[in-house]
């Protein structure tokens, strides 16, 4: 941290993510994406990293969240997240994204309301996406819902290969069948509206083919960084993000992030070179695992309670029950 954020000086925020599968959100290795940010002086962060290493005593050169998540290191994990740990008192924030809901949200945004960028500062309130996400599984059944998610993911995914099937054809065949089979239901009405939006989908696919893709709508990293930046910018503070290096963060995308937030600067570093980023890496990995456990009904109430103070209410989360436990419910009730 390069100054006191309360007196208007530049504030440095260190960031990292966990759960990235690119644009493969319905068939990837994880069902939750987490973006964590930390506000601490470099020296203080380094002391905490050394303390964690001292307590865990692993020979690994680089520690990751999995070290803290092991059962035998439960006390270290609780101390890291707890009120006496380094991250409390407003020193950390986590933006969570439930990946399947993110796909539904982006599909509804693109085909019914906007351009797929997910910006809720405009006219869209996200109600239809939330309704479809919650009603779809019980209306369409497990197989029908899985087919809808996969078709939506493929429609929105940025690909220029010579696939045997055309994503738009698959998507509109899928939503057309669901509309016909479930007419008169709430979910059926919404997919019926999606089925009538082929021209928007084809325009989107054409733009993806004909021009370089600066902002893939299904990659959660960019919107997560913007949400993180806006959180720390509250109150008119000047903020520089120090982020772990990512191939996704090209100069053009960084420029867009800085304009969207707006930030004073974005600096990319290797995680091992900055103890603050290492702490953000720990928090992101821990948050992703605990949030995924809650989503799948195997959460640890004590650990979830320790995570909850860090979770942003602007997280992109559709599941009601786990959202209540994680602290995203305020965002859900507002969309």
State the DSSP string of 277-293. Answer: HHHHHHHHHHHHHHHHH
- Rounded to the nearest angstrom, the gap between the alpha carbon of residue 309 and the centroid of all alpha carbons in its chain is 17
Check residue 10 and give its pLDDT: 92
Residue 161: predicted pLDDT: 52
Which pLDDT does position 122 carry in this prediction?
Answer: 39
Radius of gyration in angstroms for the set of CA atoms belonging to the chain, rounded to a whole number: 21
Q: Average pLDDT for residues 125-149, to the nearest whole number? A: 94
Q: Is 160 exposed, middle or buried (0-12, 13-18, 19+ CB in 10 A)?
A: exposed
pLDDT value at 166 more than 90:
no
How does DSSP assign 31-91, residue by residue? SEEEEEEE---HHHHHHHHHHHHHHH----SS--HHHHHSGGGHHHHHHHHSTTSSSTTT-
Q: For the residues 174-178, what does the mean pLDDT come to?
A: 98
Strands in the chain per DSSP E: 11-18, 32-38, 92-98, 239-244, 265-269
Statement: residue 277 has pLDDT above 50:
yes
Pick the closest to residue 190 from 201, 202, 198, 182 (CA basis): 182
CB of 168 closer than 8 Å to CB of 156: no
Q: 15 with 281: CB under 8 angstroms? A: no
Quick one: pLDDT at residue 111? 96
What is the chain's percent helix, strand, coil content, to nearest 5?
Answer: 55, 10, 35
Residue 54 has pLDDT above 80, yes or no: yes
Strand order in the sheet with 265-269: 92-98, 32-38, 11-18, 239-244, 265-269
Higher pLDDT among residues 113 and 152, named by residue:
152
Q: What is the mean pLDDT of residues 66-70?
A: 97
Backbone φ, ψ for residue 123 (5° rounding) = -80, -25
Mean pLDDT of 129-155: 97
Pairwise CA distance, residues 334 & 129, whole Å: 13
Binned at pLDDT 50, 70 and 90, residue 68 comes out as very high
Q: Is the pLDDT of residue 164 over 70?
A: no
pLDDT band, very low/low/confident/very high, at 235 (cuts 50, 70, 90) = confident
pLDDT score of 237 more than 70: yes
Better-scored residue on pLDDT, 163 or 249: 249
Q: With beta carbons less than 8 A apart as the criterion, state whether 179 and 195 touch.
A: yes
| Helix 127-156 × helix 167-181 angle, to 10° | 140
Given this model, what pLDDT does residue 120 score? 43
Task: Specify the range with the lowest mean pLDDT, choosing from 125-129, 161-165, 271-275.
Answer: 161-165
Mean pLDDT of 306-313: 97
Mean pLDDT of 54-70: 94
Residue 3's pLDDT is 37
| Structure confidence at residue 331 (pLDDT) | 45
Of 155, 4, 93, give the one whose Cα is nearest residue 279.
Answer: 93
Residue 61: predicted pLDDT: 86
Label residue 207 by pLDDT band (50, 70, 90).
confident
Q: How confident is the model at residue 82 (pLDDT cuts 50, 70, 90)?
A: very high
| pLDDT for residue 76 is more than 90 | yes
Say if residue 129's pLDDT is above 60: yes
SS3 298: coil
Give the pLDDT confidence score for residue 118 in this predicted structure: 46
Which residue is listed with tokens 């019914």? 112
Count CB-CB contacts under 10 A for residue 246: 15
Q: How confident is the model at residue 2 (pLDDT cuts 50, 70, 90)?
A: very low
DSSP codes, 163-175: -SS-HHHHHHHHH
Whole-number mean pLDDT of the chain? 90
């Amino acid at each position: 941290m390069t100054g006191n954020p309360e007196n208007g000086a530049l504030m440095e925020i260190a960031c990292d993510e966990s759960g990235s599968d690119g644009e493969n959100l319905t068939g990837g290795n994880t069902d939750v994406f987490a973006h964590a940010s930390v506000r601490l002086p470099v020296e203080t962060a380094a002391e905490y990293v050394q303390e964690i290493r001292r307590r865990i005593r692993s020979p690994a050169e680089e520690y990751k969240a999995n070290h803290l998540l092991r059962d035998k290191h439960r006390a270290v994990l609780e101390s890291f997240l707890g009120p006496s740990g380094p991250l409390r008192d407003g020193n950390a924030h986590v933006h969570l994204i439930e990946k399947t809901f993110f796909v539904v949200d982006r599909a509804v945004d693109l085909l019914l309301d906007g351009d797929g960028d997910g910006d809720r500062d405009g006219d869209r309130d996200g109600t239809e996406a939330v309704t479809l996400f919650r009603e779809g599984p019980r209306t369409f059944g497990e197989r029908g819902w899985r087919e809808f998610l996969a078709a939506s993911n493929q429609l929105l995914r940025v690909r220029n290969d010579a696939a045997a099937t055309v994503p738009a054809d698959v998507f509109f065949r899928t939503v057309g069948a669901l509309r016909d089979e479930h007419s008169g239901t709430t979910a059926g009405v919404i997919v019926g509206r999606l089925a009538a939006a082929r021209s928007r989908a084809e325009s989107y696919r054409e733009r993806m083919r004909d021009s370089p893709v600066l902002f893939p709508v299904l990659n959660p990293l960019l919107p997560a960084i913007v949400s993180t930046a806006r959180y720390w910018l509250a109150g008119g503070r000047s903020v520089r993000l120090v982020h772990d290096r990512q191939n996704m963060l090209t100069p053009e995308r960084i420029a867009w992030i800085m304009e969207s937030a707006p930030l004073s600067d974005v600096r990319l570093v290797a995680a091992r070179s900055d103890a603050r980023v290492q702490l953000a890496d720990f928090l992101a990995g821990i948050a992703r695992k605990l949030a995924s456990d809650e989503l799948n009904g195997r959460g640890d109430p004590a650990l979830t309670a320790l995570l909850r103070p860090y979770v942003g209410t602007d997280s992109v989360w559709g599941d009601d029950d786990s959202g209540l436990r994680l602290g995203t419910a305020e965002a859900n009730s507002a969309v």
